[in-house]
Each structure stands twice: as C-alpha cells, then as structure tokens.
C-alpha cells in the first residue's frame, strides 16, 4: 500500500510537469519509480503512462503541432529506435548514461549562457534519431529535443504540442520493441492501470498551470529539467 502511494505521488507530479511543458514525465518518473519497482518495470510503466498522456492531450492541442517538424522527427526516430534497442540488449547502458549525462550538462551550461542554434531539416532529423535511440535504450526521449528546441528558441506552445505528438509515436514503437525483443509482465500492466487516475489528475493540473507560465519561466523550467536529468544519469552511471 505504501509503495502504491509513493508511486502515485511520483506519477502525479511527473504528469503535471509533462502536461505543463511537454517534457519531464520520464525524467521525473523513471528515477523515482526505481525506489518502488525494478528497473525494467519502472521503464515500461513510464512508457505506458506517457502514451496515455499523449493520447489524451494531442487531440486537444493538435492545432499547435508543427507538422513539418514532426515529420522530420519521426523519420529520425525510425532510424534511431532500432539502434537504441540494440544498446538496450547488448551494449553497456551504464557507459551510455555516463556519456549522455556529461553531454547534457555541458550543453545545458551553454544554453544558460545564451547559446543558440538555427533549426535545419538535418538537425530536426538528427534530434528525432537521438530521441528514438534514447527511448528504446533507457526510456528517456526528452533530453535531445529539449536541448535542441531550447537552443532554437521555439515557442512554448509549439514545443509542447509537437513533442507530445512525437512521443505518442516513439513511445509506442519503443514499447513494442521492448516487449518483442525483451519482455513484459502482468505486474507492469496492473500497476499502470492503478496509476491512471493520478495520471489524469496531473494532466488537468498541468494544463491549468501552462496558461500562467510565460516564455522566460518556461525556459527556466527546461534548464532545471535538463540539469536534473544530466545529474541523475551521471550518478546512476558511476
């Protein structure tokens, strides 16, 4: 009972963050759910609930999606996802976490000091590829897109809606690959079902908060999310 209560609190705040920013559910939920579940269970619960959030929100904010950008991200993810499942099954995930954590912390520092980048079709596709790779390997698609979109100074509404639409695809692919090449369990699906009410509660709160956040505050939140992600990956890889 206590473990379910703890998981519910974690999922609620992670859902608020995801609905408010378009990012953050896996970044917040996965590390804390490891206190309740084993790693594979925590990752799959995170993916299942992320799919639910995207399914619920995308129809409501679909008009804000940048369809050209979304198409490029999807093309990249088709290339990156199979590479990620190979990493998940055969390579040293701890080494991957270490490399990614150092890269995220370095790039976050650049963003804080006003580093910017111009969007191009090639960069859009690479961002989608890296996101797809991280989804199937460690269950965290957000960091590459968050770094890229923040550096390109994309409007917060477009950023939120486009990434949620992208996650709907990449998480479904990632879950399918993990089940096909790995495994799943009854516990994962029952736990996910029991966590649905707090997930929806978090979505509604996050949507309300979104309207009171300006672009500057939104960017500050993304910096915090990136820093926490980098530090989490660093400490779990050493």
In this prediction, residue 39 carries a pLDDT of 74
137-183 confidence digits (pLDDT tens)? 777 777 788 778 877 878 778 888 888 888 888 888 878 877 887 77
In this prediction, residue 200 carries a pLDDT of 94
The rounded percent of the chain whose pLDDT value lies above 90 is: 17
In this prediction, residue 125 carries a pLDDT of 94
- Provide the 10 A C-beta neighbour count for residue 94: 12
197-230 confidence digits (pLDDT tens)? 999 999 999 888 887 777 677 777 777 877 887 7
Nearest to 136 by CA among 81, 92, 54, 78: 81
Mean pLDDT of 183-188: 86
Burial of 152 (0-12, 13-18, 19+ CB in 10 A): middle
- Residue 93 pLDDT greater than 70, yes or no: no
- Residue 88 pLDDT greater than 80, yes or no: no
- Residue 194 pLDDT greater than 70, yes or no: yes
Please check whether residue 34 is in contact with residue 21, taking contact to mean a CB–CB distance below 8 angstroms. no
In this prediction, residue 1 carries a pLDDT of 65
3-state SS, 195-213, equals CHHHHHHHHHHHHHHHCCC
97-133 confidence digits (pLDDT tens)? 777 778 778 877 877 777 777 889 999 999 999 988 8
- The whole-angstrom separation of Cα 137 and Cα 101 is 14
């Amino acid at each position: 009972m206590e473990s379910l209560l703890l998981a519910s609190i974690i999922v609620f705040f992670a859902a608020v963050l995801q609905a408010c920013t378009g990012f953050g559910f896996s970044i917040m939920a996965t590390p804390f759910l490891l206190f309740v579940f084993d790693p594979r269970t925590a990752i799959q619960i995170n993916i299942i609930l992320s799919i639910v959030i995207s399914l619920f929100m995308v129809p409501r904010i679909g008009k804000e999606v940048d369809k050209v950008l979304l198409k490029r991200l999807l093309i990249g993810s088709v290339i990156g996802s199979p590479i990620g499942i190979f990493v998940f099954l055969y390579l040293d995930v701890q080494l991957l976490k270490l490399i990614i954590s150092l890269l995220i912390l370095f790039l976050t520092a650049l963003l804080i000091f006003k580093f910017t980048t111009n969007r191009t079709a090639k960069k859009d596709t690479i961002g989608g590829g890296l996101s797809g790779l991280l989804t199937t390997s460690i269950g965290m698609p957000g960091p590459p897109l968050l770094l890229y979109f923040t550096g390109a100074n994309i409007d917060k509404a477009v950023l939120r809606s486009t990434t949620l639409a992208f996650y709907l695809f990449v998480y479904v692919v990632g879950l399918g690959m993990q089940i096909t090449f790995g495994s799943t369990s009854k516990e994962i699906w029952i736990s996910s079902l029991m966590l649905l009410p707090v997930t929806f509660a978090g979505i509604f709160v996050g949507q309300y908060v979104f309207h009171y956040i300006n672009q500057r505050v939104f960017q500050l939140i993304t910096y915090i999310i990136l820093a926490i992600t980098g530090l989490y990956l660093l400490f779990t890889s050493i």
